[in-house]
């Protein structure tokens, strides 16, 4: 059993959106979503798959999709003229099987026309076009009218074709008029129909269209005097205020910038605010310009009536006085409606009461609230028909009578004379009667008909009252009719497939209908009973009665957090909360008799016809023929029952118009908005019904190809390979032969289901029964649970195969990795040895280069030192002033002096480098390099420049004023060549560059 919570459904198919992508592709037979022309081909049938299919087709510019017996029409919001060409109409009309062509509204039109032509029982046909305003209902009805004008006209009779075109044009012209007077801007739609419409296309015995008739249901006339927040009044009031000329404004007393209480949100400009289109359509329907001006003058008077305000009177015996700014409005209202001003004001302020057997008349002043109520009743009385028509002792329903009898009264022309039947009607209904009088055919001139029903969609606003209750009640009735018809279509499909099927378990909305209209106690009966009781109604008391009397209904809810009295009804499209405040008053729809007598005094031509003087007051029935009270709910229920009788006597067809987005943009598909419309029009419930039966439908070939591997689990069959369809080499095989080959495979697969089901529920033998599955002639029908069992078994087999494949793959990968590791070790060892050898070679080469550079530098330094020697004669080592023999040196000291002489360049560099030794170590290095004498320091004095500024260069040019003394060097051993000798200590001669002074001996 399916359940709905807040308008969203939950059930066995609620998890459909979680299916894997490969499973969805299999269930969809690997076909792209935009190629699925029927939503029943979408597997599984879930909200997500349906939305994805509609979105894919909409993006591919495919706007019509079948949904079983329903056609879903998406509004493209752009001109698509190639879809409605006369050539395409003729193609669908001439096709042997139109249902095999692409889905189109012409398919539905041709099917209804062929059913009428072939006299299939029931002969009469009906097309229910539903959807929100702006979803394309008007365009769909218009296209169907054009289609019937082409196919239902006699090809040999030019007169018959002209008659069909004239009827089509007049019906199309009736749309702007009825939309202007019956549509309004609501919270959800800018052009919401506030009434229902049934168009009857009349055909003669030759199936040629000879006439038509229009029937309306439940006009929301309370909108004239009461508009919800952010909503507007009927379009016609805004059209006359925005489109009237200067002269008409003066005539109707509608100055520029005038404000009216019953004209909210006038700054909003809609596409429907086109006054010229409405006037032209009325002219084509036979309403001439003077009559139009008369109608608009009365409507302008209703706007001024809304500005009439009363002040509360402190004395109950005195009537309420007008507000200061309302006196001018009363004067203007009386002028426009041609009424005397004083009786008009008195009627609104004072109530007339008749009591006793003598029918004595009492006059009682009304309170402020009662004055406002009488003012609103006056506006509704002029705009729409009252509930009760007295004078004949019976209730009159123009809708309830048989169609021929009702149409026989709609005769005559309206341009020059007012129709006689207008005494039964008011302004809106009079306009409908004018349309019928211009397009209706004689009763004996037609035999069958095709009906087009344009109904309002399911409504749920923040504030819902009696109007929404009636609208949703009508949708519940139509939904029940649709569900019953859809179940018959499913029964036929199951019968064709040879299934033994008895009933589909689905959520029947009969419980909700019993709550609304059931007997003996229901919401409607309780509201009507409150109207019959002679006591003031209380919203809290009505809520208490409904909750206590209907507490056992599962479709009745209550919001405990609500401060205002209300009750909740759980409809098929979701729960809706209805406020009980004002519910009884709207259901009574009281019309004080003094208001009718007041309008009968009018001198206006239109009001004189709508309120003739011979019509008796509604509240003056004789004591012998007192009639029961007729309420809005009772009237609407009666008209709805009559409509359902018409639909039950016809073959119904359904077109669901969907608005992809509320902005009217092409190529824009908003999933949330589409989903809410699918729920409101009942398509979601259709999906649920399909899902409650056998939502998964797979062809035999695809079933065997996917689940053939389950034969591995069957102990009596061989798990060897198979070929379901030997296409290669056997292309000439017949379908019966292929089907015969598939039957054993299907039986083997189905025999595995008990074992799979038992494995799925090992602890509960009761649940181990075979899943619900049926093998038809061409398809396998199964439920979601069966699909889960099959997928689980398939996953088990695939897991076993995957484990074998994974084991082999792991062994192969392990061996491969081992071989790669050994190869890597060998490669790494070879590379390391090569890198080591290369490093050693680089070190050896670097050492050789350094050695050769050092040798070259030493030779160059020796050469430079020899060139810079003084011009003194060189002496031998044994001629030195201090002989070595007199000062014998130890062997260690001799080696140290030899090392110092050999390493004197390095010491010189370290002593004069920018970065190196500092302080005392530097002095020691300099002293060791220069080998200054240690014997008598007073013998000579020398000052070196190394201690001051350092030696810049051996070859540096003199800086500043210096004197070059060429004398014997004071250095020891300066006359000895600086060649290394192991037996003597040699020195060197160095030119000292002095900046300040030269040292003297």
Do 462 and 420 contact (CB within 8 A), yes or no? no
Helices (H), 920-987: 920-930
Mean pLDDT comparison of 458-467, 832-841, 979-988, highest-scoring range: 832-841
Instruction: Give CA angle at 710 (708, 715), nearest 5°.
Output: 120
Tokens of 401: 């009578």
- Cis, bond preceding 520 (omega within 30 deg of 0): yes
Instruction: Give CA angle at 501 (498, 507), nearest 5°.
Output: 140
- Is residue 447 marked as binding? no
Considering only CA atoms, which of 166, 171, 191, 169 is closest in space to residue 180? 191
Q: What is the pLDDT of residue 1000?
A: 44
Q: What is the pLDDT of residue 976?
A: 53
Q: What is the pLDDT of residue 365?
A: 87
- Spatial neighbors of 152 by CB under 8 A, at least 6 apart, are 113, 164, 201, 203, 207, 208, 209
Whether 411 has a pLDDT exceeding 70, the answer reads no
Burial (CB count <10 Å: 0-12, 13-18, 19+), residue 837: exposed
Residue 871 vs residue 803, higher pLDDT: 803
Q: What is the pLDDT of residue 84?
A: 92
The answer to which of 188-192, 442-446, 458-462 has the lowest mean pLDDT is 188-192
Burial 407-425 (b: 16+ CB within 10 A, else e): bebbeeebeeebbebbbbb
Considering only CA atoms, which of 10, 74, 60 is closest in space to residue 32? 60
Considering only CA atoms, which of 974, 978, 765 is closest in space to residue 861? 978
Provide mean pLDDT across the span 364-389: 81
Q: Is residue 531 very low, low, confident or very high in pLDDT (cuts 50, 70, 90)?
A: confident
Distances (CA, A) of 540 to 67, 564, 567, 581: 44, 8, 10, 8
Whether 256 has a pLDDT exceeding 60, the answer reads yes
What average pLDDT is seen over the chain?
A: 75
Is the four-CA dihedral 425, 426, 428, 433 of positive or negative sign? positive
Distances (CA, A) of 183 to 132, 235, 461, 557: 12, 6, 17, 31
Tokens of 558: 């209550």
Q: How far apart are the first and last CA of the chain?
A: 130
Helices (H), 322-454: 327-336, 341-349, 368-383, 403-408, 427-439
Cα–Cα dist 507/476, whole Å? 13
Cα–Cα dist 86/102, whole Å? 16
Do 189 and 133 contact (CB within 8 A), yes or no? yes
Q: Is residue 967 very low, low, confident or very high in pLDDT (cuts 50, 70, 90)?
A: low
HSE (side-chain half, CA atoms, 13 Å) at 575: 14
Considering only CA atoms, which of 284, 292, 304 is closest in space to residue 248? 292
Do 787 and 24 contact (CB within 8 A), yes or no? no
Provide mean pLDDT across the span 224-229: 86
Tokens of 793: 């078994």
Instruction: Give CA angle at 38 (70, 28), nearest 5°.
Output: 145
Cα–Cα dist 999/1001, whole Å? 7
Q: What is the pLDDT of residue 817?
A: 94
Predicted TM-score (pTM) of this structure: 0.64
Tokens of 77: 């919001």
- Is residue 138 marked as binding? yes
The answer to which of 222-236, 521-535, 614-628, 730-744 has the lowest mean pLDDT is 614-628
SS3 assignment, position 891 = helix
- Is residue 919 marked as binding? no
pLDDT in tens, 977-988: 555 544 444 444
SS3 assignment, position 951 = coil
Question: What is the β-pairing status of strands 779-782 and 696-699?
Answer: antiparallel
Cα–Cα dist 326/309, whole Å? 6
Whether 130 has a pLDDT exceeding 80, the answer reads yes
- Is residue 90 marked as binding? no
Is the four-CA dihedral 589, 594, 597, 602 of positive or negative sign? negative
Do 366 and 318 contact (CB within 8 A), yes or no? no
Cα–Cα dist 541/701, whole Å? 65
Residue 4 vs residue 978, higher pLDDT: 978
Q: Is residue 925 very low, low, confident or very high in pLDDT (cuts 50, 70, 90)?
A: low
Percent pLDDT > 70 in the chain is 70
Residue 619 vs residue 658, higher pLDDT: 658
pLDDT in tens, 724-758: 444 444 445 555 666 667 777 877 787 777 777 66
Considering only CA atoms, which of 755, 722, 979, 730 is closest in space to residue 876? 979
Q: What is the pLDDT of residue 158?
A: 66
Q: What is the pLDDT of residue 157?
A: 60
Q: What is the pLDDT of residue 927?
A: 62
Tokens of 812: 């192969």
- Is residue 130 marked as binding? no
- Is residue 898 marked as binding? no
Tokens of 617: 């007051």
Q: Is residue 504 very low, low, confident or very high in pLDDT (cuts 50, 70, 90)?
A: low
Residue 528 vs residue 31, higher pLDDT: 528
Mean pLDDT comparison of 438-442, 802-806, 856-860, highest-scoring range: 802-806
Considering only CA atoms, which of 128, 36, 139, 136 is closest in space to residue 84? 139
Most distant CA pair in the chain, distance: 178
Q: What is the pLDDT of residue 929?
A: 57
Could you tell me the domains of the chain? 27-167+183-219+447-461+646-693 (3.40.850.10), 466-581 (1.20.58.530), 696-712+771-849 (1.20.5)
Q: Is residue 993 very low, low, confident or very high in pLDDT (cuts 50, 70, 90)?
A: very low
Q: Helix 920-930 crosses helix 904-912 at what angle (to 10 degrees)? A: 140
Q: What is the pLDDT of residue 858?
A: 86
Q: What is the pLDDT of residue 879?
A: 46
Residue 400 vs residue 285, higher pLDDT: 285
Q: What is the pLDDT of residue 175?
A: 81
Considering only CA atoms, which of 57, 136, 167, 64 is closest in space to residue 107? 64
- How does DSSP assign 826-895, residue by residue? HHHHHHHHHHHHHHHHHHHHHHHHHHHHHHHHHHHHHHHHHHT--SSPP--GGGSSS-TTTSPPPHHHHH
Whether 335 has a pLDDT exceeding 70, the answer reads yes
Whether 721 has a pLDDT exceeding 60, the answer reads no
Q: What is the pLDDT of residue 395?
A: 26
pLDDT in tens, 874-893: 444 444 444 444 445 566 66
For residue 183, the 8-state DSSP code is E
The answer to which of 104-118, 656-670, 755-769 has the lowest mean pLDDT is 755-769
SS3 assignment, position 355 = strand
- Is residue 135 marked as binding? yes
Which residues is 216 bridged to in the sheet? 197
Percent pLDDT > 90 in the chain is 22
Q: Is residue 501 very low, low, confident or very high in pLDDT (cuts 50, 70, 90)?
A: low
Q: What is the pLDDT of residue 406?
A: 33
Residue 536 vs residue 348, higher pLDDT: 348
Mean pLDDT comparison of 71-85, 163-177, 389-403, 694-708, highest-scoring range: 71-85
- Spatial neighbors of 352 by CB under 8 A, at least 6 apart, are 361, 362, 363, 592, 593, 594
- Is residue 136 marked as binding? yes
Provide mean pLDDT across the span 127-149: 84
- How does DSSP assign 561-586, residue by residue? T-SS-EEEEEETTEEEEEE-TTHHHH
Provide mean pLDDT across the span 435-451: 87
Provide mean pLDDT across the span 409-430: 47
Q: Is residue 279 very low, low, confident or very high in pLDDT (cuts 50, 70, 90)?
A: very high
Provide mean pLDDT across the span 399-413: 33
The answer to which of 375-384, 394-403, 778-787 has the lowest mean pLDDT is 394-403
For residue 37, the 8-state DSSP code is -
């Amino acid at each position: 059993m399916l359940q709905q919570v807040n308008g969203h459904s939950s059930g066995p198919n609620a998890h459909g959106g979680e299916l894997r992508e490969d499973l969805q592709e299999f269930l969809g037979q690997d076909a792209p979503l935009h190629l699925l022309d029927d939503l029943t081909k979408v597997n599984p049938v879930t909200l997500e798959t349906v939305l994805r299919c509609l979105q894919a087709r909409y993006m591919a510019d495919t706007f019509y999709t079948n949904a079983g017996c329903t056609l879903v029409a998406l509004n493209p919001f752009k001109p698509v003229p190639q879809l409605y060409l006369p050539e395409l109409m003729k193609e669908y009309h001439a096709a042997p099987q139109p249902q095999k062509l692409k889905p189109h509204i012409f398919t539905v039109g041709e099917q209804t026309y062929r059913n009428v032509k072939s006299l299939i029982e029931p002969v009469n046909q009906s097309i229910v076009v539903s959807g929100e305003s702006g979803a394309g209902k008007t365009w769909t009805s218009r296209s169907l009218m054009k289609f019937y004008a082409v196919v239902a006209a006699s090809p040999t009779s030019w007169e018959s074709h002209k008659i069909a075109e004239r009827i089509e044009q007049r019906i199309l012209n009736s749309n702007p008029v009825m939309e202007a007077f019956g549509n309004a801007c609501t919270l959800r739609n800018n052009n919401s129909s506030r009434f229902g419409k049934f168009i009857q296309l009349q055909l003669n015995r030759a199936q040629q269209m000879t006439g038509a008739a229009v029937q309306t249901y439940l006009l929301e006339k309370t909108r004239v005097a009461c508009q919800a927040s952010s909503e507007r009044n009927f379009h016609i009031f805004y059209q006359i205020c925005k489109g009237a000329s200067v002269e008409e404004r003066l005539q109707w007393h509608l100055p520029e910038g005038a404000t009216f209480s019953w004209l909210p949100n006038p700054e909003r400009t809609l596409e429907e605010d086109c006054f010229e289109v409405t006037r032209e359509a009325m002219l084509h329907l036979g309403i001439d310009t003077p009559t139009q001006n008369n109608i608009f003058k009365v409507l302008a008077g209703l706007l001024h009536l809304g500005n009439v305000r009363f002040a509360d009177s402190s004395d109950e015996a005195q009537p309420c006085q007008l507000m200061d700014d309302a006196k001018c409005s009363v004067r203007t209202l009386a002028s426009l409606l041609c009424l005397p001003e004083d009786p008009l004001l008195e009627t609104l302020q004072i109530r007339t009461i008749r009591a006793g057997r003598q029918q004595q008349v009492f006059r009682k002043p009304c309170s402020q609230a009662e004055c406002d109520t009488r003012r609103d009743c006056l506006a509704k009385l002029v705009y729409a028909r009252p509930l009760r028509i007295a004078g004949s002792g019976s209730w009159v329903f123009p809708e309830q009578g048989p169609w021929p009898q009702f149409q026989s009264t709609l005769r005559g022309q309206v341009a020059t004379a007012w129709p006689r039947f207008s005494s039964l009607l008011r302004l809106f209904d009079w306009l409908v009667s004018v349309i019928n009088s211009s397009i209706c055919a004689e009763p004996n001139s037609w035999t069958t008909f095709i009906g087009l029903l344009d109904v309002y969609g399911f409504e749920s606003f923040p504030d819902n009252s009696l109007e929404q209750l009636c609208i949703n009640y009508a949708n519940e009735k139509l939904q029940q009719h649709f569900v019953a018809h859809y179940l018959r279509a499913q029964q036929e499909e199951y019968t064709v497939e040879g299934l033994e099927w008895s009933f589909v378990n689905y959520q029947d909305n009969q419980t909700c209908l019993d709550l609304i209209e059931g007997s003996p106690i229901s919401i409607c009966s309780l509201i009507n009973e409150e109207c019959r009781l002679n006591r003031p109604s209380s919203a809290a008391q009505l809520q208490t009665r409904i909750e206590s009397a209907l507490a056992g209904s599962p479709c009745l809810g209550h919001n405990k957090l609500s401060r205002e009295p209300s009750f909740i009804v759980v409809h098929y499209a979701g729960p809706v909360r209805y406020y009980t405040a004002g519910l009884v008053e709207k259901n009574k729809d009281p019309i004080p008799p003094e208001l009718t007598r007041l309008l009968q005094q009018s001198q206006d031509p239109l009001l004189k016809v709508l309120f003739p003087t011979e019509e008796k007051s509604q509240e003056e029935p004789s004591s012998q023929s007192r009639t029961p009270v007729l309420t809005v709910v009772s009237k609407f229920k009666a008209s709805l029952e009559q409509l359902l009788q018409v639909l039950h006597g016809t073959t119904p067809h359904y077109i669901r118009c969907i608005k992809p987005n509320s902005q009217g943009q092409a190529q824009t598909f908003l999933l949330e908005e589409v989903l809410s419309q699918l729920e409101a029009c009942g398509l979601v419930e259709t999906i649920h019904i399909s899902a409650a039966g056998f939502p998964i439908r797979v062809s035999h070939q695809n079933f065997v190809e996917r689940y053939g591997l389950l034969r591995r689990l069957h102990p009596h069959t061989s798990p060897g390979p198979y070929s379901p369809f030997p296409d290669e080499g056997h292309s000439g095989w017949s379908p019966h032969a292929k089907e015969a080959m598939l039957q054993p495979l299907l039986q083997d697969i189905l025999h595995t289901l008990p074992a799979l089901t038992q494995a799925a529920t090992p602890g509960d033998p009761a649940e181990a029964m075979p899943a619900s599955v049926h093998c038809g002639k061409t398809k396998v029908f199964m439920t979601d649970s069966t699909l889960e069992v099959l997928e689980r078994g398939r996953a088990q087999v695939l897991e076993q195969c995957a484990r074998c494949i994974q084991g082999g793959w792991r062994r192969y990968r392990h061996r491969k990795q081992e071989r790669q590791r050994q190869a890597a070790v060998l490669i790494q060892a070879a590379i390391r040895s090569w890198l080591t050898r290369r490093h050693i070679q680089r070190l050896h080469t670097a050492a050789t280069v350094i050695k050769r550079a050092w040798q070259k530098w030493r030779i160059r330094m020796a050469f430079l030192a020899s060139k810079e020697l003084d011009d003194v004669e060189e002496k031998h080592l044994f001629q030195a002033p201090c002989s070595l023999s007199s000062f014998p040196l130890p062997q260690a000291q001799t080696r140290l002096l030899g090392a110092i002489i050999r390493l004197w360049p390095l010491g010189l560099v370290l002593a004069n480098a920018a970065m190196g030794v500092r302080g005392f170590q530097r002095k020691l290095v300099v002293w060791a390099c220069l080998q200054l004498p240690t014997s008598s320091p007073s013998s000579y004095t020398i000052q070196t420049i190394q201690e001051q500024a350092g030696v810049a260069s051996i070859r540096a040019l003199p800086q500043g004023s210096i004197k070059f003394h060429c004398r014997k060097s004071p250095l020891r051993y300066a006359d000895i060549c600086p060649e290394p000798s192991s037996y003597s200590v040699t020195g060197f001669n160095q030119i000292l560059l002095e900046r300040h002074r030269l040292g003297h001996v």
